[in-house]
Amino acid sequence: MGGIGILGTGSYLPEQVMSNEVVGARAGVSAEWIERKTGIVERRYAAGHEAASDLAVEAAVRALDDSGTDAADLAWIVVATSTPDHPQPATAAFVQHRLGAYGAAAFDVNAVCSGFIAALHTGAGLLAVPGSDGGRRRALVIGSEVYSRIIDPADRRTAPLFGDGAGAVVLGSVTEGRGLVGTAMRTDGHLHALIGVTAGGSRKPASAKTVDRGDHFFRMQGREVRDFVVRELPDVVAGTLAAFGVPADEVDHFVPHQANGEMLRGVLGGLGLTSARTHLPVDRHGNTGAASIPLALDHACRQGAVTDDETVLLAGFGGGMTTGAVLLRWGR
């Protein structure tokens, strides 16, 4: 994947701000409890007319503009989401249509909160295959989620954590020595029951009975998920850096999945990233699933925090259970 990097970033957060006071009242916890346990102050909820593709398009337009890319020049559109517009067709098809990117192949990826890592790996890999892009040397990779539609507002384990949003990047050719250094992903499928929505698929189709039981809501075993992250995040970070020969103290920026600010702060000390600036805007948008890494990356880029030739490490973890990382040498 040498010579393929991020040319531009973009993000979008819905207008409706949901405070800890409002969310906490529904979940039976205080605003102070939410902030102390999660580091989250507020999150955004999509408007009634907004679906995952609408958020994705807003982020995509910003990323295309930032990279100077016309939608007609895209070869691929890869959307990471676990809250698609519909079970089918792919949310990416709606994004392609709205952007007018009819020369691009468009499809979805679902690795839950690791989805953006999987989508970035996929988009870069497709561009690396000679001739597969039809001469259009750019790919649009998006993470977009509308978790407010699948969260039980009375569930204190999930409702305080999750919000809606989208982030996007444009991939393309960069100068030699810059771009993606490498990626890593793995799945521990024996832990699949820790996170999920049990109804609405082919195993348990949606029905009045499943709705009455709340099986259409997102559920998470919080303590077990925390144990997984504490155990696996250091391993995936160390393994990725070792695989590509980059010492931990040479990482300049660390952008993790924005799951829970307090949990992440508790893990950071064991990662060995002594020189890295960790980007954690989770306090203002909460856990936005597959959107959280590109949201945080765009936030850092818009602040001018990331400069050419710096080393950037992205790391995700989520349902499945999945973990993954992307290592980049920044520069367009």
Same fold, 4-176 and 180-329: yes
Token pair 């569930």 is found at 155
Phi/psi at 66 (5° precision): -65, -30
Maximum pairwise Cα distance, the chain? 57
The single residue of 257, 279, 285, 299 carrying the catalytic annotation is: 257
Q: How far apart are CA 245 and CA 239, in angstroms?
A: 10
| Matching residue, tokens 């393309």 | 172
Question: Is 287 annotated as catalytic?
Answer: yes
| pLDDT attached to residue 137 | 86
**Predicted pLDDT at 247:** 96
pLDDT per residue of the chain (332 residues) written in tens, 0 to 9: 568 999 999 999 999 999 999 999 999 999 999 999 999 999 999 999 999 999 999 999 999 999 999 999 999 999 999 999 999 999 999 999 999 999 999 999 999 999 999 999 999 999 988 766 655 689 999 999 999 999 999 999 999 999 999 999 999 999 989 999 999 999 999 999 999 999 999 999 999 999 999 999 999 998 999 999 999 999 999 999 999 999 999 999 999 999 999 999 999 999 999 999 999 999 999 999 999 999 999 999 999 999 999 999 999 999 999 999 999 999 98
> What's this model's pTM, rounded to 2 decimal places?
0.96
- Helix ranges (H only) for the chain are 20-27, 31-38, 52-67, 91-99, 115-128, 208-213, 222-243, 261-268, 282-285, 292-302
How far apart, in whole angstroms, are the C-alpha atoms of residue 120 and residue 276?
22
What residues have CB less than 8 Å from 167, skipping those under 6 apart? 9, 10, 11, 12, 59, 116, 142, 143, 144, 288, 291, 292, 293, 294, 295, 296, 297, 298
Give yes or no for a contact between 312 and 302, defined as CB atoms under 8 angstroms apart.
no
Burial of 283-301, coded b for 16+ CB within 10 Å and e otherwise, reads: ebbbbbbbbbbbbbbbbbb
Question: Residue 4: what pLDDT?
Answer: 94
**Quick count: other Cβ atoms within 10 Å of Cβ 242?**
11
- The fold of 180-329 is Peroxisomal Thiolase; Chain A, domain 1 (3.40.47)
Catalytic residue among 20, 279, 287, 301: 287
Please state whether beta strands 164-173 and 4-12 pair in parallel, antiparallel, or not at all (unpaired). Answer: antiparallel
Instruction: Fold for 4-176, please state it.
Output: Peroxisomal Thiolase; Chain A, domain 1 (3.40.47)
Can you tell me the distance from the alpha carbon of 332 to that of 330, in angstroms, rounded to the nearest whole number?
A: 7
What pLDDT sits at residue 2?
A: 62
The domain spans of the chain are: 4-176, 180-329
**Cβ atoms of 318 and 161 closer than 8 Å:** no
- CA-based angle 19:218:155, to the nearest 5? 50
